[in-house]
Amino acid sequence: MTEQLAPMPADWQRALAVVAHPDDLEYGAAAAVAAWTDGGREVAYVLATRGEAGIATMEPAQAAAVREREQRASAAVVGVSAVEFLDHRDGVIEYGPALRRDVAAAIRRHRPELVVTLNHHDTFGHTAWNTPDHRAVGRAVLDAAADAGNRWIFSELAEQGLAPWEGVRWVAVAGSPRPTHAVDAGPGMERAVESLLAHRAYIGALTETDPEDYVRGFLTSMTDSAAEHFGNRPAVAFELFPR
């Protein structure tokens, strides 16, 4: 990646972020979300699972409740109050019509111009294998951006009062190995740190490192590596799919 990243489009009012797990948006995208809500834009979160399989030392039923609470707290830090869960099963999310329908329904409920998701490619970077949940949800989100506008796909949604929404103009994929656009991470960085730190139980089980050192180190190295391609400004990079 040597070319420069373009600034993300700014002429929109509503965004919907749809990802697999609690914490997926906090590993980077939250710095952009903070900047967007600062600018008066509305952002809502939809999580396919409650991340119940994410903590080795905690039973799923307990982890689901803990991680839902942590996700709501971390969203609030960056100005997001709408947080919904689709209750697919963590670790074994299936790509297919049921997932596409649930995401299309969320898009019809929220009527966003910008949809955000996490890396749907096979790898993070070029060699780290991605998880099946991220691949399934990312691909379903890219597909559902179109499904949401087609009255004949999932026509049962209209019967539930969810009219087709053709207004999605872009899908932005965070964590992609092929980024095209970026958002200045500076204004939202401290809140991004705080929002990832809100996943205390998860991070506590993940690393022996001091949580704040771990979180700050991860986010700084990520936004610094994007800076090389964004005029030396630390940035959150996205792969943007216009529609």
What's the burial of 178, exposed, middle or buried (CB within 10 Å: 0-12/13-18/19+)? exposed
Distance of closest approach, residue 118 Cβ to Zn ion, in angstroms: 7
> Whose CB is nearest to Zn ion?
21
Residue 21 binding Zn ion, by CB under 5 A: yes
CB of 148 closer than 8 Å to CB of 36: no
CB of 134 to Zn ion, least distance (A): 6
Segment contacting Zn ion by CB under 5 A, of 21-29, 155-163, 180-188, 200-208: 21-29
Both tokens of 243, joined, read: 């529609």
Position 135 contacts Zn ion (CB under 5 A): no
Nearer to Zn ion, 21 or 101 (CB): 21
Considering only 8, 16, 24, 114, the residue that binds Zn ion (CB under 5 A) is 24
Per CB under 5 A, which of residues 76..105 are in contact with Zn ion? Answer: none
Residue 169: CB minimum distance to Zn ion, A: 26
Cα separation of 105 and 122, whole Å? 26
Count the neighbouring beta carbons within 10 Å of the beta carbon of residue 1: 14
**Stretch near Zn ion under the rule CB under 5 A, chosen from 19-27, 91-99, 150-158, 201-209:** 19-27
Query: How far is the CA of 119 from the CAs of 53, 65, 224, in angstroms?
Result: 20, 25, 19
Helix (H) / strand (E) containing 143: helix 132-147
Report DSSP state, residue 65. H
Piece of 23-31, 60-68, 97-105, 219-227 that binds Zn ion (CB under 5 A): 23-31
Count of residues binding Zn ion (CB under 5 A)? 3
For Zn ion, the closer CB: 24 or 143: 24
Pick the closer one to Zn ion by CB: 21 or 108.
Answer: 21
**Of 185, 205, 181, nearest to 195 (Cα)?**
185
CA 173 to chain centre: 8
Task: State the residues that interact with Zn ion by CB under 5 A.
Answer: 20-21, 24
